[in-house]
Amino acid sequence: MSATTINAAEFSSVEKNGKFQNSEIEYKSGFGDLYGIIKSYVTADREHPTPQQALPSVPLSREEIENTTNPAVARLGHSSMLIRLDGKTILTDPVFSDRASPVQWAGPKRFQPAAISVEALPAIDMVVISHDHYDHLDKNVIKSIHTKVQHFLVPLRIGKILQSWGVPQEKITELDWWQEKTIGSITFAATPTQHFSGRSLFDRDQTLWASWVIKGEQAKLFFSGDSGYFSGFKAIGEKYGPFDLTMMETGAYNDAWSDIHMTPEQSVQAHIDLRGKAMLPIHNSTFDLALHDWFEPLERALIHANSKQVQMVTPLFGQMVDVESPNSHAQYAWWRELQPYKEEFKAAVANTH
């Protein structure tokens, strides 16, 4: 073993007094932190928290999905990815509701509908869930689609939540960090993240959070879920890399919660740690969940990816990206063509000359 090899056992999940813990930090927040966050939202002088026009998207049809034979991915919104791998259809963190909230009359409202409707989805072979937060685990969509889903793969204790929504227990596999489940030709591995869980103030950290390795015969993919930057990414890269494509959380960051959400620059570094070939930024351009401009995560990630010679893939919503040849979608900065960013970008370019 080389001197840089990280022992995966160091990142095993730890449960204490019925609650899961991170491997490197102890993240705590309470009513005071919540009050501070709400106050920041109310008082912050924000220029562009949401888009002023519809974001460009490509209609995604059931027929296109079912006829896609090469390994491919499509962004549906936020961290919801539709994956075609080894002839199977996989969904990650499917969220289709208008609001990422326990109620649909309040809470963060999505900028626009998902790239395909729930009704138009084909049969789903596997659904992968990273953690139980409302912008990743959508009760309404799970209840709507579970009859057309063959299998759910979730971190520890999320299975009980799904069962309470009507999902049969035999359809659910719960995994701890580093555990694997092979279904047909595809192996799923739950891997560590640095985050937290809970759907209320009273169930904090009672379910596990995870990232996912999705390894098929056609390609090897990584889905980050949510995480702060930590050395676990290097451990995952050493155990499972290299990856043909990483889908990396890039958005909803802030200094106040930097331990559990990466900055765009850290997302690019995590991709490098994972030994990824191409990086697709997710967790952005759908909900207003932080205090940055809606387009800032993509712009900062692209600038840093260029400086590190990382191939960043930024497709339109609904656009199928061929994992074997993602170049046609690489570094297409579509957000620069929208108002008001268009004028700001032109001005910034002009000032460099």
Write down the pLDDT at residue 317: 96
Write down the pLDDT at residue 244: 97
Domain ranges of the chain: 56-351
Write down the pLDDT at residue 302: 95
Assessment of whether the complete model's pTM goes beyond 0.75? yes
End-to-end CA distance of the chain: 50
**What is the 3-state secondary structure of the chain?**
CCCCCCCHHHHCCEEECCEEECCCCCCCCCHHHHHHHHHHHHHCCCCCCCCCCCCCECCCCHHHHHHCCCCEEEEEECCEEEEEECCEEEEECCCCCCECCCCCCCCCECCCCCCCCCCCCCCEEEEECCCCCCCCCCHHHHHHHHHHEEEEEEECCHHHHHHHCCCCHHHEEEECCCCEEEECCEEEEEECCCCCCCCCCCCCCCCCCCEEEEECCCCEEEECCCCCCCCHHHHHHHHHCCEEEEEEECCCCCHHHCCCCCCHHHHHHHHHHCCEEEEEEECCCCCCCCCCCCCHHHHHHHHHHHHCCCEEECCCECCCEECCCHHHHECCCHHHHCCCHHHHHHHHHHHCC
Write down the pLDDT at residue 37: 52
Write down the pLDDT at residue 10: 56
Residue 70 to residue 65: CA distance in whole angstroms? 11
Write down the pLDDT at residue 183: 98
Q: Counting Cβ atoms within 10 Å, is residue 297 exposed (0-12), middle (13-18) or buried (19+)?
A: buried
Low pLDDT (below 50) residues in the chain: 1-6, 31-32, 34-35, 349, 352-353
Query: Each residue of 204-257: pLDDT tens digit?
Result: 999 999 999 999 999 999 999 999 999 999 999 999 999 999 999 999 999 989
Write down the pLDDT at residue 27: 78
Write down the pLDDT at residue 7: 55
Per CATH, the number for 56-351 is: 3.60.15.10
Nearest alpha carbon to residue 224 among 148, 183, 283? 283
